[in-house]
C-alpha cells in the first residue's frame, strides 16, 4: 500500500469497521488455495458509484480522486490474471448493491489482490478500517 504506508509500518484497525467512506483504508478477507488472508486496500467505490481509472488515477462519478498511488513498473500494464486488459486505465464500472471497489495504492501487479483482479468485493468481506499508524500518523486526512 505504498506510498500511503511504508514497508514495515504497522497500523491500527477498527473492527467492525463502522461507517465507510470513499478513500478509507479497509481490511478485507481474501481466500485462495494458499489460505485465508486479511488484506489492506483503499475503498474506491460504494454501491451505485461509477469507477474508472486513467493512468493509475481513480475517478469516482467522473471526479479524479486525490488519493496517493504509485506505479513501480510502467511497462507492466497487463496481467493475464486481471479483469481489465490494462491495469492502469479502464472504463467505467457501476458498483452493484452490497459491493465495493477496493484498490491497492500500488497499481502494478504488486497490488494484487484488489478489484482489478477479483471484481467487485462483497461489503460483508470487509472486516475492519485502518485509521492510524502505531506511531500516531493519520492514514486519511
Torsion of CA 101, 139, 69, 6, to 10 degrees: -120
pLDDT digits (tens, 9 = 90+) for 86-135: 888 888 899 999 999 999 998 876 667 899 989 999 999 999 999 999 99
- Long-range contacts (CB closer than 8 Å, 24 or more residues apart) made by 18-21: 18/129, 20/46, 20/100, 20/126, 20/129, 21/46
pTM of the model: 0.92
Element (H, E) at 117: helix 115-118
Residue 118: strand, helix, or coil: helix
Which domains does the chain possess? 11-133 (2.10.109.10)
What is the predicted pLDDT for the residue at 80? Answer: 74
Cβ of 60: how many Cβ atoms within 10 Å? 19
Mean pLDDT of 26-44: 94
Amino acid at each position: 500500500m505504498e506510498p500511503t504506508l511504508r514497508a514495515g509500518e504497522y497500523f491500527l484497525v477498527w473492527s467492525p469497521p463502522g461507517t465507510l467512506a470513499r478513500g478509507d483504508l479497509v481490511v478485507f478477507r481474501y481466500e485462495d488455495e494458499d489460505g485465508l488472508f486479511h488484506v489492506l486496500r483503499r475503498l474506491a467505490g460504494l454501491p451505485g458509484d461509477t469507477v474508472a481509472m486513467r493512468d493509475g488515477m481513480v475517478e469516482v462519478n467522473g471526479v479524479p480522486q486525490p488519493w496517493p498511488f504509485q506505479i513501480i513498473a510502467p511497462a507492466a500494464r497487463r496481467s493475464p490474471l486481471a479483469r481489465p486488459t490494462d491495469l492502469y486505465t479502464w472504463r467505467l464500472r457501476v458498483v452493484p448493491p452490497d459491493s465495493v471497489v477496493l484498490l491497492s495504492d500500488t497499481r502494478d501487479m504488486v497490488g494484487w489482490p484488489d478489484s482489478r483482479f477479483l471484481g467487485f468485493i462483497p461489503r460483508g468481506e470487509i472486516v475492519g478500517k485502518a485509521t492510524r499508524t502505531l506511531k500516531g500518523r493519520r492514514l486519511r486526512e
